[in-house]
Chains A and B, each alone.
Chain A
Amino acid sequence: MMKNLLKTVAVLVAVSLSVGARAQLVVDITSGIDDPTPIAVSPFSWSGSGVLSEDVSGIISADLRRSGLFAPVPKADMLSFPKNPEEVVFRDWRILGTEYVVTGRIEPQAAGYLLTFDLVNIFGQQKMFTKQVSGGSRQLRDIAHRAADEIFEAITGIRGAFSTEMIYVLEERRGGRPSYALMRADIDGARAREIRRFSAPVMSPMWSPNGQEVAYVSFETGRPAIFRENLRTGARQQLTNFKGINSSPTWSPDGTKLAMVLSKDGNPEIYVLDLNTGRFTRMTRHFSIDTEPNWMPDGKSLVFTSDRGGKPQIYQLTLATGQVDRLTFDGDYNARPRVSPDGKTLVMVHRSRGVFTIATMDINTGRMRVLTETTLDESPSIAPNGAMLMYATKRGDKGILAAVSLDAGVKYNLPSQRGDVREPAWSPYFD
C-alpha cells in the first residue's frame, strides 16, 4: 500500500463520430446506498494556457456519485484545494468526515493532455497511488472517466465501468413523421451522437464483444432485417432477408457467431449464424414463440424467451445436446433475459401485479428479486462489471433510460432532452 504506483494509461478511444455540442441525456440520481463513502475530488491544476473545455475533476465526482457508492464533497464545502498529496491537510478532511481525497495536475502534451492524479486515504493517512492518464485534444472526458475507473477500483475492488458507452434507439418527429436513430453516447449520457438515422423503425441494438460493431434490426427494406455495422468506419452488411421475422441478434462471447430469431419456417425459432461460414443452424423446434436469445458467458448455452408453457417464460438451451430447461417459474410473464458477466444472475422483464418491472434471478437458487418500481420497464442491459444495468422505462408518455444496481440499492434516470429513447445496450470494456 505504501509504495507509489505510477502507471500510465493511454486513452486510445478514437472519437471518429461527430460529437454533439450538448449532452443529450442528463443524469438524475434517484437513490443511492444508505452510507456512501465520502470522497473529495479537489479541483485539478492546469499548467497550460487558456481554460480547459471540460471540468475534469467535476466529471470524476459525477461518475463516482452516479455509482451510488460515493458521496463526493461539494467544492463549496472544501476548506482547501490541494493539488498534490503533500498539500492534503489530513485533520481538515477528517473534520469533514472525508475518507478519501483525490488530487491532480493536468499538463499540455504535444497532441493533448496528461493527467497525473493521486488517491489519498485520509483515515489511513497515506497516499494509495499516483497514476497518469493521457489523451488527445478532444479526450478530456475520456481522461476523466479513466481516472474515475482507477479510483473506483482502488477503493471498491470492482473494476470501474465509467469509460464504457451505450447505444440506444431515439425516436422523434421530424417534419411531422416519425424518425428513428441509433445513438451512441458515453455511459453518463454525454457526447450523444448519431450512428445512423432511419425513416423506418430500428430495434434490438447489440454490441459485438470487442466493442467495434453493432448488430441491429432495421425495417428499412420494408420488413425486419438484421444488419451488422462497424462503428468506426460505418461500413455495414445486411445479414438476413428472410420471409417473416428476422430479429434479436446477439453475439456469442467469442464474437464468431450471432444467435437470432427467424420465422421463415412458420413461427419464430432460434438460429445461430456462423459469421465465418455464413451458415445458419436452427436451434429450436417448437410451434410456440421462441425469441430473445442471449448467450451464457461460456458460449455453451443460450437463454431465451418462449411461451411454450402457455405464457412467456425463460428457458435455457444447451447447444451441444439441444436440451431445453425452463429457468423461471415466478409470475406469468418473464422475458428478454440477459446474463450477468459471471454467468450467475439473469436479469429480465418481469410482470407482477400487472406491471412490468426489471427483476434478477439467481440461476442456482431460482430466487427472484424485483429491482424497479416503475410500470413499463424493459430492455435491461448489464454493465461489463456486473454492478449495474441500464433499462428503458416511461415517464409520463415519454421514453427515458434509467439505471439500477443489481442489488437495487442505486438508481438514476437519464431522461432525454428530445424525443423518446429506449433499448439501451451497455458496451463491453474497450480494452
Chain B
Amino acid sequence: MLKSVKTGLGLACVMAVMAGCSSTDTDDSAQQQMTQVQEPVVETPAQETAVPLDNVVYFDFDQSLLKPQTRDLLIQHADRLRGSAQNVRLEGHADELGTREYNLALGERRANAVRDFLVLQGVDAASLEVISYGEERPAQAGSSESARAMNRRVVIVK
C-alpha cells in the first residue's frame, strides 16, 4: 500500500508537470511541484517529494461526521490533490453491526462526506469516485470493538 501511494504521488507530479506545460497555469503549487520533479520518477518514486499521507479515515458507529483529526488529514490530501488531474477512489466501509444493505448506504454516506470535504477544499469533484462496500470488505476480521473501529472507514485510493 505504501509503495503504491508513493508511486501514485510520483505519477501525480508528472501529470502536474504535463498539465503545467500545456496551460498557462502559473499557480504557485504547480510551480513548486514542477521544481520538485526535475528528475522524475515513475519507476523510482521521488522519496523526498512528500511523506505518504495516511489514506484511511475512521468514523463512529452509525456516523458519517468527520472527526477533527480526520479534517486535518483531509486538508493535507486536498493540498496535494488540488490542481492535479489525478483520479481518486473513495471507498466507504461499515462495521459488522447493523444490516448489510443499510451499511452499504452508510459506507456511501461516509465516502460522500469525505468527497464533499475535499471538494470544499478545492479538489475537482470530477476526479473523485465514490464506491461503498458496506460491511462486505472488513479491514480486520472479528467482533472486537477495536476491529469494528478499524472497519468504520473511508479509504482514499489513488
Beyond A219-B133, A223-B131, whether A376 also contacts B100 by CB under 8 A is no
B96 with A263: CB separation less than 8 A: no
Q: What is the minimal beta-carbon distance from A285 to any residue of chain B, in angstroms?
A: 16
B102 with A312: CB separation less than 8 A: yes
Residue of B112, B137, B142, B143 touching A201 (CB-CB under 8 A): B137
Select the stretch in A229-237, A242-250, A272-280 that faces chain B.
Answer: A242-250
Chain A residues positioned under 8 Å from B136 (CB to CB):
201, 203, 219
A292 with B101: CB separation less than 8 A: yes
Within 8 A of A (CB), among B64-99: 96-99
Q: Does B42 contact A (CB under 8 A)?
A: no
Q: Does B109 contact A (CB under 8 A)?
A: yes
Beyond A201-B133, A219-B133, A244-B130, whether A378 also contacts B105 by CB under 8 A is no
Chain B residues positioned under 8 Å from A248 (CB to CB):
101
Q: Does A394 contact B (CB under 8 A)?
A: yes
Chain B residues positioned under 8 Å from A423 (CB to CB):
100
Chain B residues positioned under 8 Å from A224 (CB to CB):
104, 132
A291 with B109: CB separation less than 8 A: no
Q: Which of B101, B132, B136 has the most CB of A within 10 A?
A: B101
Chain B residues positioned under 8 Å from A223 (CB to CB):
131
Question: In the complex, what distance in Å separates the CA atom of A376 from the CA atom of B143?
Answer: 9
Q: What is the minimal beta-carbon distance from A72 to any residue of chain B, in angstroms?
A: 36
Chain A residues positioned under 8 Å from B106 (CB to CB):
289
Name the residue on A nearest B100 (C-beta).
A203
B105 with A356: CB separation less than 8 A: no
Chain A residues positioned under 8 Å from B100 (CB to CB):
203-204, 336, 378-379, 423
Q: Does A135 contact B (CB under 8 A)?
A: no
Beyond A335-B98, A349-B99, A378-B100, whether A263 also contacts B133 by CB under 8 A is no
| Contact code string B121-158 (vs A, CB < 8 Å = 1, else 0) | 00000000011111011000111000000000000000
Beyond A244-B108, A245-B108, A397-B141, whether A292 also contacts B132 by CB under 8 A is no
Q: Does A305 contact B (CB under 8 A)?
A: yes
B101 with A267: CB separation less than 8 A: no
Chain A residues positioned under 8 Å from B109 (CB to CB):
267, 289
Q: Could you list some 16 contacts between A and B, CB below 8 A?
A: A201-B133, A204-B101, A219-B133, A222-B131, A263-B105, A267-B108, A267-B112, A292-B101, A292-B102, A305-B99, A312-B98, A335-B99, A336-B99, A349-B98, A378-B100, A397-B142
Known: A267-B108, A289-B106. 4 other contacts (CB 8 A): A203-B101, A263-B108, A268-B108, A289-B105
Residues of A within 8 A of B (CB): 201, 203-204, 219, 222-224, 244-245, 247-248, 261, 263, 267-268, 289, 291-292, 305, 311-312, 333, 335-336, 349, 351, 356, 376, 378-379, 394, 397, 423
